[in-house]
Amino acid sequence: MVISAETKTASSSSQEVTDKIVIEKLSVAYSDGTESLKEISLAIPDRAVTVLFGPAGGGKSTLLRTMNRLNDLADVVRLSGHVWLDSVDILDPLIDVISLRRRVGIVFTRAVVLPMTIRQNLTYGLELAGERSRRHLDEVV
């Protein structure tokens, strides 16, 4: 399995490039025995556009879902390693995933349905943004 990453930053000799996200020896395995990632290490600079590319089934989506903790909702049986965002390990079980997901977004090439009810999928974005009114959420659905 090979995942390649390409990062583009604005070039300026006066700016120091710092790593915003650092992934260290990240491994992810699913309940069906599939080991999607094996000891992946990667540094992503601040204020950069980073593109992950590779073959289907290569672990790109697993890596992205791990970075914003959507894999908490999946059938992951083993997760090891570290993902640091601004020097905080976001895989720490005590991290507030709602706050994390406000900072770490994913743009998929096709719609992704989360492993939740249809209603939860429809209201997830509003709830993530802080909407708590059951009446308003019901109107949206």
Residues 38 and 91 in one domain: yes
Segments forming the whole domain that contains residue 30? 4-110
Residues 18 and 69 in one domain: yes
pLDDT of residue 15: 55
Residues 98 and 119 in one domain: no
Q: For residues 131, 20, 79 and 94, what is the CA-based torsion angle, rounded to 10 degrees?
A: -50
Q: Tell whether the model's pLDDT for residue 43 goes beyond 90.
A: yes
Helices (H) and strands (E) counted in the chain, each on its own, are 4, 6
Residues 10 and 56 in one domain: yes
How far apart CA 93 and CA 115 sit, in angstroms, is: 20
Residues 96 and 117 in one domain: no
CB-based contacts of 89: which residues, under 8 Å, 6+ apart?
Answer: 82, 83, 95
How far apart CA 128 and CA 123 sit, in angstroms, is: 9
pTM assigned to the model:
0.65
pLDDT digit string, tens, across residues 58-93: 898 899 889 989 888 888 888 999 999 999 999 999
pLDDT digit string, tens, across residues 128-138: 778 888 898 88
Residues 14 and 41 in one domain: yes
The domain tally of the chain equals 2
Tokens representing 65? 């879902």
Residues 105 and 130 in one domain: no
Residues 43 and 58 in one domain: yes
Residues 104 and 123 in one domain: no
Residue burial 97-113, b: 16+ Cβ < 10 Å; e: rest: beeebeebeeeeeeeee
How far apart CA 125 and CA 114 sit, in angstroms, is: 12
Residues 82 and 134 in one domain: no
pLDDT of residue 119: 86
Instruction: Taking the CA atoms of 116, 132, 111 and 19 in sequence, report the sign of the dihedral they define.
Output: negative
Residues 99 and 131 in one domain: no
Instruction: Taking the CA atoms of 97, 99, 103 and 108 in sequence, report the sign of the dihedral they define.
Output: positive
Residues 120 and 106 in one domain: no
Q: Domain of 97: which CATH number?
A: 3.40.50.300
